[in-house]
Structure 1
Amino acid sequence: MRKTLYIIGLSFFVFSCTSQKSVKQNTSRTNKQVIQPKTTIAKANNEKQKPQITHDGGSEFFTTNIADATKNNNTISYGSIVSAKPAGYKVVKTYFPAVGQNFRQRYLILHYTALPDDKSITVLTQQEVSAHYLVNNTGDNEIYQLVDENKRAYHAGVSSWRSDKNLNDTSIGIEIVNAGFRADSTGSRVFAAFSDDQMKKVAALAKDIITRYQIPPTNVLSHSDIAPTRKQDPGPLFPWKKLYDEYQIGMWYDEATKQTFFEQAQLDFTTKYNEPSFIFLIQTTLQKFGYGVELNGAWDDTTKKTIEAFQYHFRPQKYDGVMDAETWAILQALNQKYPIK
């Protein structure tokens, strides 16, 4: 009997130990840390193979456009790619570049320096005024670059065109060495001409810039266009029509369209010239084209200077700031040809 009880007790002890060991093993498995595999972002199956980034002397470049040009998108880098360097982390270009991007450079603004060559260089490099490029008048084949195109130059100042303001932020500025104007015995402004050699330089430079940055004709402007109440440059002798005809640079009106508007304009100026509603219409049309003119229905100083700036650009034979039938016809023809989109 005793022997039988001894065997039963021994069997219970063995079973109990075995059960506890099993529990410990299960507990150990439950508490063991599970390491998840590294997550990777899979590329979409329909994503096109992108051209490679070019490496040169420690700098990176991307010189191919893979974006939709019809949307004014462009992925080309005309300088080296600038990237952040966050401490302790690595910036990678695994998915570079995104197609939804375009250039910050949206305007090309032309100026004259009103100074000779040597003083133009000094002022534009040593003072708080600058431009991206300076076109000299020394007869050589050099164009001076003064500011990186990716940086803001201080050339436009307080400025506006259509819905944009402070155009230093979005423009490239070209300064042209030219004496500007002097006042004659009657107080009228007499402007200095530009040399043919200079204009060839300006045309080549402007064409290169507007082509690379896809700048539309409506955004190739004079300083007087974007600041008509305080600036006159590059003045009425700057050959805008020549640049348009020979190089397809900037805006110009169609003669036939202008003539159509001119016939009606002659009637308007015979009967409506001093009516506030007609003056308001002219101010509204100037504003619609791009000028920052006030709408008040009066021939005030701001309106006169704005008309003068318009005439500098599009009617250089007459730039007295007085709206006449031909100036009015030209303005309407330009608005028809270059509507705001």
Structure 2
Amino acid sequence: MRKTLYIIGLSTLVFSCASQKNVKKNTYQPKTPVVQPKTVVKTQTQEAQKPKVVSDHGVDFFTTNIADPAKNDNTASYGSIVSAKPAGFKVVKTYFPAMAQNFRQRYLILHYTVLPDDKSITVLTQPGVSAHYLVNNTGDNEIYQLVDENKRAYHAGVSAWRADKNINDTSIGIEIVNPGFTNDATGKRVFVPFSDAQIRKVAALAKDIVTRYQIPATNVLGHADIAPTRKQDPGPMFPWKKLYDEYQIGMWYDEGLKSDYQEIAQADFATKYIDSTFIFSVQTALQKFGYGIELSGKWDDATKKTIEAFQYHFRPQNFDGIMDAETFAILQALNVKYSIK
């Protein structure tokens, strides 16, 4: 009897232990997924890949681009990082930089000073007008910086290109020492050439700027391009084609396409010239290219000055402000090559 009870008791104990094990197993299983630290691992991986801010004598720098250059984004800083200093609080750069950012500097604008070297320096360093850089004509290897590239210089004035206004806000300005022009006996403007030494300086400086800030060819312009009714600089003696051919800076048309358009235009150009519909189409083409021109359908003064500015840049052999077949062909060729996407 005792033996039988012992066996029954032992069986009950084994069954009870087995049941308890099953209960514990069933209550533990649902907790397993909660323990997985997926979010933590992902964040740590991202943080490990991001370059760090570098400090030098208490000044912070970040010179690496982690954004998308295909979208003209850039997170690099070409100087120290400017940060707020709120009283009683600490600004930290634990998550610096955000990827969604780009440069303020979207345009490069070229000017001439209409003054000799010494007076150019005086005027451009006093209140009222300034530029980021001044290229002298003294034959040395120096280029004068007058304004921090991160600051807004006063060089463009009332200005526009394509959809942008107030180009001072988004540009770097280069002034070149040059007397500009005088008028001959017939009233025609006679412009003074730039020295080869100056052009080499301008080309090297421009190349550095457009490369660092990823400035597109369509945004390398003269003052006359962005303010055609007020300005003429840098004028028809400035070698835009040389900068394009030798340094890959700025815009220029394809000769073959220009010739094709000119052959078509010459057929009945004189007849179309007086037609308001044709005038309207010319103004539309100038506006499409980038000039801030009103569509009046007339050869008014603003249109004449805009054509003149276009000729300064792209047809400097003849800058009379008259839309002839060659000028119109160049404009059409440029609109094809640099169409707005």
Query: Could you tell me the TM-score, scaled by structure 2's length?
Result: 0.87
Write out aligned runs for 1:174-323 (5 A).
Answer: 174-323=174-323
Cα shift readout 1:277-314 (whole Å, capped 9, x = no counterpart): 00000000000000011101000000000000000000
By how many angstroms is 1:57 displaced?
1.7
2:154 equivalent in structure 1: 154
2:85 equivalent in structure 1: 85
| Matches of 1:317 and 1:268, distance apart in 2 | 23
| Matches of 2:299 and 2:278, distance apart in 1 | 11
Cα shift readout 1:239-264 (whole Å, capped 9, x = no counterpart): 00000000000000000010111111
By how many angstroms is 1:170 displaced?
0.3
By how many angstroms is 1:153 displaced?
0.4
2:118 equivalent in structure 1: 118
Cα shift readout 1:125-153 (whole Å, capped 9, x = no counterpart): 02310000000000000000000000000
Aligned length in residues: 301
2:62 equivalent in structure 1: 62
Cα shift readout 1:218-247 (whole Å, capped 9, x = no counterpart): 000000000000100000000000000000
Structure with the higher fraction of residues in helix conformation: 2
| Matches of 2:144 and 2:268, distance apart in 1 | 48
By how many angstroms is 1:267 displaced?
2.1
- AA paired with 2:282? I
- AA paired with 2:59? S
1:137 equivalent in structure 2: 137
| Matches of 2:146 and 2:268, distance apart in 1 | 48
| Matches of 1:241 and 1:51, distance apart in 2 | 40
By how many angstroms is 1:45 displaced?
5.8
- AA paired with 2:220? V
- AA paired with 1:262? Q
2:43 equivalent in structure 1: 44
2:19 equivalent in structure 1: none
| Matches of 1:158 and 1:236, distance apart in 2 | 22
| Matches of 1:46 and 1:164, distance apart in 2 | 40
By how many angstroms is 1:87 displaced?
1.4
Matched residue SS, 2:125? helix
| Matches of 1:268 and 1:109, distance apart in 2 | 37
By how many angstroms is 1:270 displaced?
3.1
| Matches of 1:314 and 1:225, distance apart in 2 | 11
Segments of structure 1 that go 5 or more residues without pairing to the other structure are 1-40
By how many angstroms is 1:271 displaced?
2.5
Percentage identity across paired residues of the two chains: 77
Segments of structure 2 that go 5 or more residues without pairing to the other structure are 1-38
| Matches of 1:110 and 1:297, distance apart in 2 | 30
By how many angstroms is 1:46 displaced?
5.8
